[in-house]
Structure 1
Amino acid sequence: MGNKILVVDDEENIVKLVSYNLEQEGYEIITANEGKEALAKIEQENPDLMILDLMLPKVDGFDICRKVRKDGNTNNLPIIILSAKEEEIDKILGLELGADDYVTKPFSPRELIARVKAVLRRVDYTADEEKQEVLKTGAVELDLKKHQVRINDKEINLTPKEFELLSILIKHPGQVFSRDNLLGEIWDYNYHGDTRTVDVHVRRLRKKISEYSEQKHIITVRGVGYKFKED
């Protein structure tokens, strides 16, 4: 049996459609139809990835994202939001709260599967990457094996996508990466959205870093992209 995926949606037909297609790919599927049940399943089942609707009874998807990212036991759980909410503000808020990807309904099952595979592949690669290598520049220390980031000797919690973003930038200090480059490197598929996804993740990463360091580490190169500033 492959990775365990939690599908959370209050529409039974969506749950059946997503579950069937993922099971055909060899994934183990568990389901929840409302927010409290989803939080309980996360604790009980320890899934490898969650596909999450936003408009849920009892506890909505936004609150689930907040709770998952604040909990030290679950803050690394990859989350793909699958929602009928297609306004830009909803997408940005979902990403701000720590979702790794955002898919709008109606959706293509094949595209959703591709995104699931991409997220899991990137998480697995990061976890196995470069044995015991520790990257350090000034106050920022990134442990690739332990998947930990410390700034001024204080550990900060990053989502898988934030960790990937920081690791790419810190491995190539001074090198400018375009938004398209970062989409290709981190999301690892032909992304159908736009490069604002990168901007949201950069903004969220900067905010977390700024809580522990006064120095501006991730620099915007106007009209081009982003780079990591060496100390």
Structure 2
Amino acid sequence: MLRTSPRAWTTAAAAAGCAVAFCASPAQASVIWDADASQGTGVFVTTLCDSPGSVTTGNWNDGHGTFFKFNKPIGTARCEGHSVSTSAGEYAFKNDNTYWFGWDSMTKTGNAQTVFQWKSNGTNDQNSQNYPVLMKVEGEQLKVWYVAAGETWISIGSTPWTAGEWHSVQLGITTDSAGQGTLSVYKDGTQFASRTGARTWDDLGNKPRWGTYFGTDTSTASINWVAGLKMGTSRADVD
């Protein structure tokens, strides 16, 4: 992924900053999904944008490459890209697996609300956790919650977020339906959120969403630009 400034990491620093569950060996690592925006919105299974919202692509020729623009105007609640589409069809996420997602994001304001969901499949009556993992941009902060069964919101970390600037994000999820899953989140190379002993796989499974989502609030406009989107089995795959 392209960033506004390069970063160098030593082996010792990387080892100190990751949990055992996320330190996969190079032999085990692989890029599962390279969703560069130059391929268009077909990298998602579907887009969920209330009209007249839209997901489009663009390139400002500033060295950052092609990006997705998730545009949620006033009067709408959401604009998101849903799940992972590959050449073989929709990717089948599984329990007891480790997935890493990486992307660069820039929001127009410091309030883009939900910018990522690890969304449970089925309707609210068919799952125990509607969204086990949520990431929000609000109050000039990037905030991460683990949402346990029973809609119990547990904050697992927050970090300053500057609107109008690109930030890199990496999220690692080890899926576990029995409550032994793990979470790890980095912004601009620094881990700021983590959780162990988490139920990260719901009754019918889960899929990712990116964009901007305000729930029942339709009074605020929001734009989230996303670039360099990838999924792999280690942080190195998506960094």
TM-score class normalised by the smaller sequence: under 0.3
- Find the structure with the greater CA-based Rg: 1
Larger helix share, 1 or 2: 1
Query: Which structure is richer in relative contact order (CA contacts within 8 A, separation 6 or more)?
Result: 2
- TM-score (norm. length: structure 1): 0.25
- TM-score (norm. length: structure 2): 0.25
